[in-house]
């Protein structure tokens, strides 16, 4: 009996499919570069025509590398919210609730801060600056520092005001702006939450202005309550350190045709009358890092007030260290004044017996080119006492004078360092930039080739980035042993609106994300290429099954002689 036609067709399809799999599957060598996932719109559910999302701050679940939570704000509505992924960054959702309490509905976004962290049992923490209209506004009104936690990926939040400031008026007005948050989930019976913020008193003006103060607060009960914040700069600027700061400053020589302005001498007894005093020195931009033993490192920059306009003061980076959960501190002044203002600080177990502290920052290494910019890191293997010279980790052609800006840094549990920054090397002339990435496996001594993460150049003629709004937070980066997850603000969805005549600076900003895979999630491999090869092995296995099935079907089908006999038998049967 002849076989049905669908089996004959199926045999051909199986053979074609098997051959196609072998021919289409590329062969990857062991030295192939890391792959980047397709860029995903993390805020795709929001279709508001005026949305303007800021680049988020990301944190990875230490117990589940597929779970990453981000904190962001819609700059149009001034509302903070969360985004999250449970599949390693392939797909994203937005949290349903807000980390801000109802009576502090608005939040202010801080540049270069780290405002998200994750602890044990999937709990995520977000640090925000909250305020309401009754507080007087974001410029001269009170602003509270709030740490909020969620156990269900942003559906419900538990906010805690670290220090109450509502109701203060006049010179007593205080603004507490978030700078960094870190969580120790390895020690204690609950998460130990460390939070750093800036204390500003905007209504205290010269000649008795108050410098910005670097504040630090600790919670030992998972963010439910915080102890009284301390000022990391208090008592640090002794006579010797202040004198060193004054004498190390570079004096600027005026041009021959320049004119000088005569100023009135400050009032006797004011802070400005005696500029070289401890009260005129504070700090800003505190960045937190934790090591495996629970030691806290905070790098911060000096800040001054009431100094004469012609009095140069050398910028100084200081590193405060606590080995007892923030009860006592030792602060080291970094004598090498080439240390930059850290955009982010990270600790890795690689590089030395005490691990390595790494700070990252941007700097123009070519003072003759205004448009230039590079990304530099400095390392310390002695807990912040001394630092290496700055090291440029970008690999573009220096002769082209392209710029890299606003870097961020994250460390995976296995010690890998992940650095990301905005880069204009691929800008086709639209005032755009891209997200680039590089990593280090040896404590920051050497860095990989820069890898482009964004698959479309971000057009900065649209959205709020760079349009004098001073809202340029860094790219969000979350690091696990297996993955490096990135998220950034992106204007690509403005294009349809631009054709309708939207003015530059308008349009929309969404959050886009991508992932780079270093290991198999769940263990096994240590290279992304092995992951790809594993996928190809799977494809090859399917192809083998298909080929086997096709071969069996082919063997089971009649040959030419059998076909002739079967045909003759069919005719004989028909005659009967």
Give the CA dihedral 184, 186, 190, 193, nearest 10 degrees.
0
Whether the Cβ atoms of residue 311 and residue 330 lie closer than 8 Å to each other: no
* Spatial CB neighbours of 541, under 8 Å, sequence gap ≥ 6: none
Strand partners, 180: 114, 196
Indicate the domain borders of the chain.
5-26+540-575, 40-248+284-526
Q: What is the pLDDT of residue 263?
A: 63
With DSSP H G I counted as helix, E B as strand and the rest as coil, what are the percentages for the chain, rounded to 5? Answer: 15, 30, 50
- At 157-202, the pLDDT tens digits run 999 999 999 999 999 999 999 999 999 999 999 999 999 999 999 9
DSSP class per residue in 236-304: T--HHHHHHHHHTSPPPPPPTT------PPPPTTSTTTS-SSGGGEEEEEEEEEE-TT--EEEEEEEEE
Residues 145, 162: Cα–Cα separation, whole Å: 6
Q: What is the pLDDT of residue 471?
A: 58
DSSP character for 40?
Answer: E
Residues 59, 522: Cα–Cα separation, whole Å: 19
Torsion sign over Cα 555, 561, 564, 565: negative
Total Cβ atoms within 10 A of residue 382: 13
Residues 576, 568: Cα–Cα separation, whole Å: 13
pTM given for the model: 0.83
- Give me the architecture of the 40-248+284-526 domain, per CATH: 6 Propeller (2.120)
Distances in Å between the Cα of 370 and the Cα atoms of 363, 367, 419 are 11, 7, 24
Angle at 160 between CA 154 and CA 161, to 5 degrees: 130
Residues 71, 98: Cα–Cα separation, whole Å: 10
pLDDT per residue as tens, the chain (576 positions): 444 443 344 444 434 444 343 333 333 222 346 889 999 999 999 999 889 999 999 999 999 999 999 999 998 898 999 999 999 999 999 999 999 999 999 987 666 555 899 999 999 999 999 999 999 988 899 999 999 999 999 999 999 999 999 999 999 999 999 999 999 999 999 999 999 999 999 999 999 999 999 999 999 999 999 999 999 999 999 888 888 777 776 555 545 555 555 567 889 999 999 999 999 999 999 999 999 999 999 999 999 999 998 888 877 889 999 999 999 999 987 655 455 566 899 999 999 899 999 999 988 877 666 667 899 999 999 999 889 989 999 999 988 888 899 999 999 999 999 999 999 999 988 889 999 999 999 999 999 999 999 999 998 888 876 555 555 789 999 999 999 999 999 999 986 555 444 455 578 999 999 999 999 887 544 444 343 333 333 444 444 444 444 444 444 445 545 445 444 444 443 343
Helix (H, G, I), strand (E, B) or coil at 473: coil
Whether the Cβ atoms of residue 223 and residue 147 lie closer than 8 Å to each other: yes
Torsion sign over Cα 161, 162, 167, 170: negative
- At 531-562, the pLDDT tens digits run 333 333 344 444 444 444 444 444 444 554 54
- At 12-59, the pLDDT tens digits run 443 444 434 333 333 322 234 688 999 999 999 999 988 999 999 999
From the centroid of its chain, how far is CA 281? 30
Residues 420, 440: Cα–Cα separation, whole Å: 12
Torsion sign over Cα 566, 570, 571, 572: positive
């Amino acid at each position: 009996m002849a076989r049905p036609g669908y089996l004959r067709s199926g045999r051909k399809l199986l053979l074609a499919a098997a051959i196609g799999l072998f021919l289409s599957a590329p062969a990857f060598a062991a030295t192939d570069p890391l792959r980047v996932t397709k860029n995903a719109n993390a805020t795709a559910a929001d279709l508001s025509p005026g949305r303007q999302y800021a680049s988020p701050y990301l944190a990875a679940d230490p117990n589940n590398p597929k779970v990453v939570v981000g904190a962001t704000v819609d700059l149009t509505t001034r509302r903070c919210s969360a985004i999250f992924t449970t599949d390693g960054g392939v797909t994203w959702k937005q949290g349903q609730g807000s980390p801000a309490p109802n009576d502090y509905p608005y939040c202010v976004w801080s540049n270069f801060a780290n405002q998200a962290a994750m602890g044990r049992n999937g709990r995520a923490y977000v640090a925000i600056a909250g305020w309401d209209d009754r507080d007087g506004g974001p410029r001269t009104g009170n602003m509270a520092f709030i740490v909020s936690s969620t156990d269900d990926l942003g559906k419900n939040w538990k906010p805690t005001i670290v220090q109450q400031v509502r109701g203060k008026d006049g010179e007593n007005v205080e603004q507490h702006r978030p700078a960094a948050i870190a969580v120790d989930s390895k020690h204690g019976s609950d998460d130990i939450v460390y939070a750093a913020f800036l204390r500003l008193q905007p209504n205290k003006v010269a000649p008795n202005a108050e410098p910005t103060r670097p504040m630090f607060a600790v919670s030992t009960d998972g963010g439910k309550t915080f102890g009284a914040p301390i000022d990391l700069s208090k008592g640090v600027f002794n006579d010797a350190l202040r004198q060193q700061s004054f004498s190390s400053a570079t004096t600027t020589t005026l041009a021959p045709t320049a004119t000088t302005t005569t100023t009135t001498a400050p009032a006797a007894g004011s802070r400005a009358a005696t500029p070289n005093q401890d009260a005129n020195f504070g700090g800003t931009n505190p960045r937190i890092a934790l090591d495996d033993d629970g030691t806290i490192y905070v790098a911060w920059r000096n800040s001054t007030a009431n100094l004469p306009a012609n009095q140069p003061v050398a910028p100084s980076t200081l590193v405060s260290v606590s080995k007892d959960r923030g009860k006592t501190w030792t602060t080291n002044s970094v004598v090498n004044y080439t240390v930059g203002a850290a955009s982010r600080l990270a600790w890795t177990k690689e590089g030395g017996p005490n691990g390595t502290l790494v700070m990252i920052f941007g700097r123009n290494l070519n003072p003759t080119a205004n448009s230039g910019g590079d990304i530099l890191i400095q390392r310390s293997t002695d807990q912040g006492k001394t630092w290496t010279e700055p090291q440029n980790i970008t690999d573009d052609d220096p002769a082209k004078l392209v710029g890299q800006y606003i870097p961020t840094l994250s460390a995976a549990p296995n010690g890998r360092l992940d650095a990301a920054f905005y880069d204009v090397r691929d800008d086709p002339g639209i005032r755009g930039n891209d997200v680039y990435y590089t990593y280090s496996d040896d404590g920051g001594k050497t860095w990989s080739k820069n890898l482009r993460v964004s698959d479309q150049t971000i057009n900065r003629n649209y959205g709020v980035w760079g349009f004098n709004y001073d809202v340029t937070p860094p790219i969000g980066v979350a690091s696990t042993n297996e993955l490096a997850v990135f998220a950034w603000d992106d204007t690509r969805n403005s294009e349809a609106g631009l054709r309708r005549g939207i003015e530059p600076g308008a349009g929309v900003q969404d959050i886009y994300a991508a992932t780079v895979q270093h290991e198999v999630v769940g263990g096994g491999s240590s290279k992304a290429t092995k992951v790809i090869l594993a996928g190809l092995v799977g494809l090859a296995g399917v192809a083998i099954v298909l080929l086997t099935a096709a071969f069996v079907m082919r063997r089971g089908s009649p040959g030419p002689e059998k076909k002739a006999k079967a045909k003759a038998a069919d005719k004989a049967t028909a005659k009967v």
